[in-house]
Amino acid sequence: ERPDALRRDLVGRKILVSAGGTREPLDPVRFLGNRSSGKQGYAIARLAAQRGAEVTLIAGYTADLADPAALEVIRIRTAGELKEAVDKAAVAAEAVVMAAAVADFRPSTIADSKIKKGADEPDTIPLTRNEDILAGLVRSRRDGDLPNTSVIVGFAAETGDAHGDVLTHARSKLARKGCDLLVVNAVGEGKAFEVDHNDGWLLGADGSETALEYGSKALMASRVLDALVSLLERGGA
Ligand code: CTP
Ligand code: CA
């Protein structure tokens, strides 16, 4: 179902979408990775192009997704490469959608040769925090370095825990990141990762909270783009 596929409300708009997961190498054959399929980000990139946008897709590792037709695709492997590519492409973008699943940490050192069992085997893997790309974009814009970028969209996959429910965590993430829109997927058993359906919320920096009812990733994409378009038309949040 692609209810808004024919709406041409993004003609001439430059949109940057990141999608898929990053992999952080540990040695020549191993990495730290995540289960992102890239499907949600690809759906947004594809639909934005159908709605007329000039889309740049920065893609990490995905579940074997075909490159969407008629848009520029830049491949990245690590969070560091993703940051470099996003920072470069964001300069021209009017809206940035950070759907990529960015590794929060990388192994502090990458072994030159394969790590072997035996006397020298490690019992822990020291990790170093990766830079927060989304927060960096928000900072750059605040500092006046992204004059073209009026909309910055973040994603969050959240579960409830002892400190609060999904919405509570999502509201504080939106405040912490400072983006204009946060797309929140409620994750739990069988939800969000590697499946074709999501549910969650769209939280706006203006305090708006819209439920995203259970639907396909194409439908989710159209909801996200509807919200993005209305922010773009208002000239940003
Ligand atoms: N993100 C990013 N750079 C990072 C980590 C995350 O740009 N190093 C972006 C993601 O692309 C996403 C948003 O930030 O749009 C939220 O990611 P998430 O992992 O939910 O946020 P974190 O701040 O890493 O919080 P957590 O500790 O819950 O993982
Ligand atoms: Ca994270």
Q: Does residue 6 fall inside a structural domain?
A: no
Q: Which of 193, 132, 131, 129 is nearest to 159 (CA)?
A: 193
> Is the residue at 195 inside a domain?
yes
**Which of 34, 130, 185, 198 is flagged as catalytic?**
34
Complex ipTM = 0.99
Ligand 1 in reach of 133 Cβ (< 6 A):
yes
pLDDT at 10 exceeding the cut of 60: yes
Q: Would residue 164 count as lying in a domain?
A: yes
Check pocket membership of 155 for ligand 1, CB cut-off 6 A.
yes
Whether 166 is in the pocket of ligand 1, judged by its Cβ within 6 Å, is no
Mean pLDDT of all residues in the chain?
Answer: 92
Q: How many domains does the chain have?
A: 1
pLDDT digits (tens, 9 = 90+) for 98-134: 999 999 999 999 999 999 999 989 999 999 999 999 9
Of 158 and 18, the structure prediction assigns the larger pLDDT to 18
Concatenating the DSSP letter of every residue in 63-97 gives: SSPPPPTTSEEEE--SHHHHHHHHHHHHTT-SEEE
Residue count of the chain, please give it: 237
Residue among 87, 96, 98, 183 whose CB has most ligand 1 atoms within 8 A, to mutate:
98
Residue 157 has pLDDT above 70, yes or no: yes
CA distance 148 to 150: 6
97 in any annotated domain: yes
For residue 2, being part of any structural domain is answered with: no
Please indicate, yes or no, if residue 59 is contained in any of the structural domains: yes
Residues 192-235 pLDDT 10s: 555 555 578 999 999 999 988 767 888 999 999 999 999 999 98
Q: How far is the CA of 161 from the centre of ligand 2 (A)?
A: 16
Find the 157 Cα to ligand 1 centroid distance in Å: 9
Q: Is 178 helix (H, G, I), strand (E, B) or coil?
A: coil
The answer to whether 198 is a known catalytic residue is: no
The CATH number of the domain where 158 resides is what?
3.40.50.10300
pLDDT at 13 over 90: yes
Question: What local confidence, expressed as pLDDT, does residue 190 receive?
Answer: 47
| Confidence at residue 70, expressed as pLDDT on a 0 to 100 scale | 86
147 part of a folded domain: yes
Structural domain span for residue 40:
14-109+126-233
58 lines ligand 1 (CB under 6 A): no
pLDDT at 127: 98
pLDDT digit string (tens) for 18-52? 999 999 999 999 999 999 999 999 999 999 999 99
With a 6 Å cutoff on the Cβ, whether 87 touches ligand 1 is no
Task: Give the residue from 97, 78, 182 showing the smallest Cα distance to 137.
Answer: 97
Among the bound ligands, name the one nearest to the CA of residue 79.
Answer: 1
Quick one: pLDDT band at residue 237, thresholds 50, 70, 90? low
Question: Does 79 have pLDDT greater than 80?
Answer: yes
Q: Give the bridge partners for 203, in sequence order.
A: 182, 209
- Residue minimizing CA distance to atom 6 of ligand 1: 102
51 CA → ligand 2 middle, Å: 30
- Is 98 part of any domain? yes
